[in-house]
Amino acid sequence: MARILIIDDDVLLIRLLEQHLKSKGFEVASACYVGEGLEMAVAIMPDLIMLDLLLPDATGYQACGILRQHPQTKLIPIIMMTSAARLPSQHRIGRLMGADEYLVKPLDLIDVENKIQALLNEKRHAAEEPESPSTLEFVPSSGDLFDNSSK
């Protein structure tokens, strides 16, 4: 059974995704903040991470970069989700930061499921064993880096 970690501050979306993914046989964990999500990623080692772009304590771009730099999480497929970034250049930034897929909200659950299955089927394989366990470093933003009021 594949384990999926959802990092998003929209509790209703989390519940919808949890219900749908669990009905399809996935194990699902969730977090509403980047700091909490990063800790969970190391603790539970999900098979895939669904990551919102705009979160209360950091951007999804920042979180994606941290996940890609950490030896234990660098190979976990990441689907970035957003309702804000609809331009192709914003999608490219997400991919440059390490996102494997990019979904625009509102989400189509069939599309979500198809992208998850595709990424799990082609999941990256590490040639080396993960380095010794450690923690992810995260420094919350001052809050003025971005404005979530338009979410």
pLDDT digits (tens, 9 = 90+) for 104-128: 899 999 999 999 999 999 874 433 3
Q: Which residues contact 111 (CB under 8 A, 6 or more apart)?
A: 103
In a domain, 143, yes or no: no
**What average pLDDT does range 1-11 have in this prediction?**
96
- Say yes or no to pLDDT of 28 above 90: yes
In a domain, 136, yes or no: no
Q: In this predicted structure, what is the pLDDT of residue 123? A: 75
Q: Which domain holds residue 82?
A: 3-123
* Contact in structure between 57 and 140 (CB atoms under 8 Å): yes
DSSP characters over 13-67: HHHHHHHHHHHTT-EEEEESSHHHHHHHHHHH--SEEEEESB-SSSBHHHHHHHH
Q: In this predicted structure, what is the pLDDT of residue 124? A: 46
Domain total for the chain?
A: 1
Average pLDDT, the chain: 85
**Any idea what the CATH number is for the domain that residue 79 is in?**
3.40.50.2300
In a domain, 146, yes or no: no
In a domain, 130, yes or no: no
- Say yes or no to pLDDT of 78 above 70: yes
Q: Which residues contact 36 (CB under 8 A, 6 or more apart)?
A: 7
Q: In this predicted structure, what is the pLDDT of residue 52? A: 95
Residue 86: count of CB within 10 angstroms of its CB: 10
In a domain, 9, yes or no: yes
In a domain, 80, yes or no: yes
Q: In this predicted structure, what is the pLDDT of residue 87? A: 67
In a domain, 38, yes or no: yes
In a domain, 151, yes or no: no
CA distances from 140 to 33, 36, 78 (A): 10, 11, 21
- Say yes or no to pLDDT of 97 above 90: no
Question: What is this structure's pTM?
Answer: 0.81
Q: State pLDDT tens for residues 38-56.
A: 999 999 999 999 999 999 9
**What average pLDDT does range 91-100 have in this prediction?**
83
- Say yes or no to pLDDT of 81 above 70: yes
